[in-house]
Structure 1
Amino acid sequence: MLEYKVLGNDPSKEYVLFLHGIGGSANIFFPQLKTFRKSFNLIVVNLPGHKNSPSLASYKQKFSFEHVTEDILDVLDEIGVDKVHFVGISLGSVIIHKILEVAPHRVATAVLGGSITRINIVGRFLLLWGTLLKNVTPHLWLYSLCARILMPNHNHKDSRDAFIHEASQMKREDFLGWYDIVYTVPDTFKNVEAKASHIPKLYVTGKDDHMFKKDIMKDTKSLSNTSILILSNSGHVVNLDQPDVFNEAALSFLHSHGEMDVTKIEDNIIYTNQ
């Protein structure tokens, strides 16, 4: 069973489940928890290989996104919650794509921050390069390099440092296990429209997310029930780069189950399809 914590048990409130990125932990949502808890019961989860959740070596079969999805649904079953709002960042958003495919009935709405829908040619080159180096370099060095490539700007420093700090507690075999399935990320997105067109989805991406922004805008443009926000002064980890703006947009979306009022944050938005 994954390590998780439930914050609040008010039967009049809906649940929000947070999913972090690779190398991170539930701690990366600290700018969200206090604000979100005013309106929702919260579930924060540490993914396999992170903090006190099971190591990837504990899985009998080759680790995959299918395993992670099953683990998260097991958490919901243990808590006794049928349906939740999902909020994910980076890898967390990728996992939400998989949940939308295999268990759309468990999803009320989805907020996908710093999402990934495909791996472009630069990303494929970096993955190949990392694959060649991963067995001869410290895993934290490889993670730090990836973090600096994804979050290169000065205004990304706090986000970058937070993720590197969290990743320093991750075992080498767990990091490499996640690294080995990154190439399957595009497969998690392929069936989102076919399986979950009826579910409201909000994609929030930073203007400076140079690795994934263009593909997100292109790939989500034709999705049903889908809103897109591109935030200024933000990179890949939008919930840390622009926490107040992210919170305002996400909470508005969750409260209304798919509608969104961005009036208060319009000066921080450089693109929206609303």
Structure 2
Amino acid sequence: MFQDMIKNPYTFKTVTTDIVQVLNHLKIQSAHFVGISLGTIIIRNLAELAPERVKTMVLGGAVTRLDAKSQILVKTGNLFKHFLPYMWLYGLFAYIVMPQKTQKESRLMFINDAKKLCQKEFKRWFKLAADVNPLMKYFKERELPIPTLYLMGGNDYMFIKPVKEMVSKHKNSFLTEFDNCGHVCNVERPDEFNQHSIAFIQRYQTLPA
């Protein structure tokens, strides 16, 4: 059974279904969700597939669209992923997304965590990137009645602009921007990230379970 699981490609739907199964197993009817980067897409997809399970969403370093640079990076990675060691690709990706000196800690964290993956596992996750834009285009056009807080670094140059566009159109979405901060704002500004997240969750704590 495990061998069959690792052979199947990842999709946002299958990963989201895993979360629902965990909630069911733990008998959690609904919860507040906090995610970072790629995790924000999974949380948003969970809210789409099972909105009754999501009280609020706190999305840090949210990925709501891949711009031209991101798409070139993904296509280049797909082209060379069978030939180059995955850590080379991951290191390049981390540096492009987080290029500044102040983001060094975040880059190293990303790279060190990636070392826990094998090449095949990396490829499975990398394939998810191809599904981002079609999925996020749908999300942009469809707003859910779920309170959503975006926590973004002002220097998150690849992702903050589309987030601002989405927040301007969705009445249940809010944006807090951290100055002089990059993509992984929970690492660069952990105290502020936690304070804003907790305050937002507490504001909607009385929502029915």
Give the whole-Å Cα distance in 2 for the aligned partners of 1:160 and 1:197. 33
2:71 counterpart SS class: helix
Alignment-derived partner of residue 81 in structure 1: 28
Structure richer in helix, relative to its length? 2
Shift of 1:160: 1.0
TM-score, normalised by the number of residues in structure 1: 0.70
**Deviation at residue 186 of structure 1 after TM alignment:** 2.5
Instruction: Give the equivalent residue in structure 1 for 2:89.
Output: 142
Q: In the aligned structure 1, how far is the partner of 2:163 from the partner of 2:128?
A: 20
Indicate which of 59, 73, 87 corresponds to 1:112. 59
Which of residues 228, 234, 243 is equivalent to 2:181? 234
Shift of 1:57: 6.1
**Residue of 108, 116, 130 corresponding to 1:169:** 116
Of 129, 132, 136 in structure 2, the residue corresponding to residue 185 of structure 1 is 132
Gaps of 5+ in 1: 1-53, 259-274
Change in 2 beyond 3 A, CA 1:103/1:194? farther
Aligned to 1:34: none
1:222 correspondence with 2:183: no
Name the structure with the higher strand share.
1
Distance in 1 (CA, whole Å) between partners of 2:147 and 2:189 is: 22
The residue identity in structure 1 corresponding to 2:115 is: S
Say what the alpha-carbon RMSD is for the aligned residues: 2.0
Query: 1:230 Cα deviation (Å)?
Result: 1.1
Q: Is the 8 A contact 2:30 2:55 kept in 1?
A: yes
Taking only the aligned residue pairs, the percentage that are identical comes to 36
Distance, in Å, in 2 between the alignment partners of 1:180 and 1:193 is 22
Aligned to 2:174, what secondary structure does the other structure show? strand
The 3-state SS of whatever aligns with 1:98 is helix
Tell whether the 8 Å contact from 2:34 to 2:59 is kept in structure 1 after alignment. Answer: yes
Separation (CA, whole Å) in 2 of partners of 1:66 and 1:77: 16
CA distance in 1, matches of 2:4, 2:121: 8
Inter-CA distance 251–81: structure 2 relative to 1 (3 Å threshold)? same
Q: Count residues in correspondence.
A: 205
Work out whether 1:125 is the aligned partner of 2:76.
no
Q: For the residues of structure 2 that align with 1:137 and 1:55, how far apart are their CA atoms?
A: 27
Residues 63-102 of structure 1: pairs in structure 2 closer than 5 A? 63-102=10-49
Report SS of the residue matched to 2:198. helix
Q: 1:251 aligns with which of 193, 198, 201?
A: 198
2:103 matches 1:156: yes
Q: TM-score, normalising length from structure 2?
A: 0.91
Residue 87 of structure 1: how far off its partner (Å):
0.2
For the Cα contact (< 8 Å) 2:9–2:124, is it kept in 1?
Answer: no
Structure 2: 5+ residue stretches without partners:
none
Judge conservation of contact 2:143–2:170 (CA < 8 Å) in 1: no
Q: State the match for 2:157 in structure 1.
A: 210
| Superposition deviation, residue 219 in structure 1 | 2.2
Deviations 1:115-153 (A, max 9, x none): 111111111111111111111110011001100111111
Give the Cα separation in 1 of the matches to 2:45 and 2:135.
5
Q: CA deviation at 1:60?
A: 6.4
One-letter amino acid matched to 1:255: Q
